[in-house]
Structure 1
Amino acid sequence: MKVTKGFFGTLNGKEVTAYTLSNSKGMEMTCLTYGGIITKLLTPDREGKREDVVLGFDRVEDYERNSPYFGAIVGRFAGRIRGAAFELEGKSYQLLKNDGENHLHGGKVGFSHVIWEAETFEEQDRVGVALHYVSQDGEEGYPGNLNVTVTYTLTEENELLVDYAATTDQTTIVNLTNHTYFNLSGDLKEDILDHELTIKSDEFLQLKSDLMPTGEKIRVDGTPFDFNNGKQIKEGATSVYEQNVLAGRGYDHPFMLNTNNDREIMLKDEKSGRVLMIETDEPCVVLYTGTQIEDTYKVKGVQARKYLGLCLETQGAPDSINQPQFPSPILRAGERYESRTRYVFGVE
């Protein structure tokens, strides 16, 4: 197992470094100091052929110009906040409106568009990189100095562990995730409509036309949102169900998980044989099927388009600061925010 370091580019006069983690089983992951972006992830198919299973770019300029959060760490708050505003301990906070009237994924810059500090580690059965960033009090409108560390760890068992940790000196809100777009066909040979997804979830959050949660939970029974026994993504893409249609004929929805750290999410691609299992301690996962990917650029030589990749964003519920029926995103001084998501790659 090893970690290698390389130059990826320069952004606003600052160098962007790429770190590549690799094991002896043929798995390799490359991440950037810019946005903590997972820019490449090589895994073998059932024939042993290693191919890239994530969307990304080869140049840092493309990430700044075209990227819909490909592979990035998203924060301080993943998802949307209604009206780009919230109240905390009797004080009102106004955030940037970067998604219509709402606030999305931490704002115009957010954690996805800054350069993180990095420190690597190598052990006998695991290697990794710890990324560190201090979000200043008032950044993007959020209160408190937030000290954040996100650690990527690759093991010999083809596991990618993503650990999030944060502390604050003032009461604030935190909801972190990773926005990697997966495509298990390998090197983007196919879109993701034939991928089969299983999610252990009996309820999803109803969305309005602006993709903001209404606060209502809908039972998945009898809808294209019932992934408990597995189904192909194309069922939602071809559905006339209102919630699929408003998401651009697909999904952009939070699913409330029935269980944690219990093989709760499985993604499969029959042609390649690749399987991705995801476990998390977060209360929900946002399934986004790439319905807003524009066709004005290329992704690793492939024309960008709808359904080229899908995201499985493990996180707290969007707008949870304004919707107290969901788990609270509040973090106070002296407390520690911690979360882990585990991705395991295999074949069938």
Structure 2
Amino acid sequence: MTGRFLLGLLVGVGAMIATPAAAATAKRSSFGRLPDGREVAAVTLANGRGMSATLIAYGAAIQSVILPDRTGRPADIAIGHATIADYIAKPQYFGATVGRFANRLALGRFTLDGRTYQTPVNNGPNALHGGTQGFDKVLWTVRDVKSGPTASVTMRHVSPDGDQGYPGAMTVDATYSLDERNQLTIEYRATTTKPTIANITNHAYWNLAGEGAEGGAMGHVVTIPADTFLPTDAGAIPTGERKSVAGTVFDFRQPTAIGARVRDASDEQMVFGRGYDHNWVIGQEVTPDLHLMARVEDPVSGRGYELHSNQPGLQFYSGNFFDGTSIGKNRRLHRMGDAIVMEPQLFPDTPNQQGFPSATLVPGRTYRNVMVYRFTTGR
């Protein structure tokens, strides 16, 4: 071995030692206490590119996501409350984990193995997001916090047999992770002691211009790779039809600004939902692999994301029921259209609909919903 080669080898090794791979961090803190005195943990995941996500144990929720724009200026793009008192006083599913059955169940009922179960109704005559005391309104336990190339936090909730009328004790783990590619991953896993139904997702509200930015999210450009969507009745329960998006305001196969058609009252479906609050059919069943659910971009800031999941349905909600009574973290009122929701999930009212993918979970099997937000900054 020549001296020159040995010197080069040592220099190369030294360089590798001097420049270790970037590591994302996970730091635990307190978000305050519930009225009964229990502490609400918060965990902030941060990478070396200026992105961070703060998760709180109340509702296993996304409380904040900081992301730079194309000029490097950071902003909080996730809608949330500033204090735990606000989450309790004004529950609106901000960034929350929702279940046991996300979205709606007609009349709050479903039949499983010949037996009919009744869950609390909290959305007119129907059940929404698990009932009056769903996963969004319970304190989860922080089980694991990790820093490294991918930082993560795992939280757990055990829903007892009979909780909100659902059979079986269900154990649910929610894992949030952030890597150096600005990829935020949410993974839900659930098991049960008796046959039950499961449909768990995250209800994050996004405004890529920044929470409270003028104009809201209606200028966001959306792409949804779906040929059909699920029409509903006036109570947001699917009719059972899979309707082509062609020639309708539901066609997002090409990039389209939300605001271009969100107030189009010529379609009865838009009147029912006061805008978009529907499920697009991305696939026919839950898949082992992830597939594209949606692309969203804010042309002004340059921020955007691709959303990938293993689920067959995507609920797109355009923030139609913000009425100016919710105060954001920046102390500005949330108004109609100020933020949007993209929820990978099973189809609404699945247990009561023929031909929809099964929502049944049995002992020995694991429910799994994975959603990956691949954020971009326009740089």
Q: Shorter-normalised TM-score: what interval?
A: over 0.9
1:237 equivalent in alignment to 2:262: yes
Show CA shifts across 1:21-79 (max 9, x none).
00101110001000011010001100011110010111111111213111000000000
Deviates further, 308-317 or 5-14:
5-14
Show CA shifts across 1:152-196 (max 9, x none).
011111001111101111000000000000000023213011100
CA contact (8 A) 2:293 2:344 kept: no
Alignment of 1:108-119 (within 5 A): 108-119=132-143
- 53, 72, 86: which one aligns with 1:62: 86
How far apart, in 2, do the equivalents of 1:134 and 1:41 lie? 27
- 174, 180, 183: which one aligns with 1:150: 174
Q: Which residue number corresponds to residue 294 of structure 2?
A: 265
Deviates further, 63-72 or 166-175:
63-72
RMSD between aligned residues: 1.2
Q: Secondary structure at the match of 2:290?
A: coil
How far apart, in 1, do the equivalents of 2:169 and 2:349 lie? 21
Identity of paired residues, percent? 37
Show CA shifts across 1:292-335 (max 9, x none).
11212311211121111100011000100001311000001111
Q: Which residue number corresponds to residue 8 of structure 1?
A: 31
1:276 equivalent in alignment to 2:305: yes
Shift of 1:211: 1.1
Q: Which residue identity is paired with 1:230? A: P
Q: Gaps (5+ residues) in structure 2?
A: 1-23
Shift of 1:214: 1.1
Q: Gaps (5+ residues) in structure 1?
A: none
Show CA shifts across 1:213-253 (max 9, x none).
111111000011000111111123221221112111x1000
Q: Which residue number corresponds to residue 212 of structure 1?
A: 237
Q: Which residue number corresponds to residue 149 of structure 2?
A: 125
How far apart, in 2, do the equivalents of 1:276 and 1:189 lie? 18
How far apart, in 1, do the equivalents of 2:97 and 2:47 lie? 23
Q: Secondary structure at the match of 2:85?
A: helix
Q: Which has the larger radius of gyration?
A: 2
Q: Which residue identity is paired with 1:197? A: V
How far apart, in 1, do the equivalents of 2:35 and 2:356 lie? 39
CA contact (8 A) 2:293 2:314 kept: no
Q: Number of paired residues?
A: 347
How far apart, in 1, do the equivalents of 2:199 and 2:35 lie? 27
How far apart, in 2, do the equivalents of 1:67 and 1:233 lie? 25
1:289 equivalent in alignment to 2:318: yes
How far apart, in 1, do the equivalents of 2:189 and 2:206 lie? 24
TM-score, normalised via structure 2 length = 0.89
Q: Which residue number corresponds to residue 226 of structure 1?
A: 251
- Greater strand fraction, Structure 1 or Structure 2: 1
Deviates further, 120-129 or 6-15:
120-129
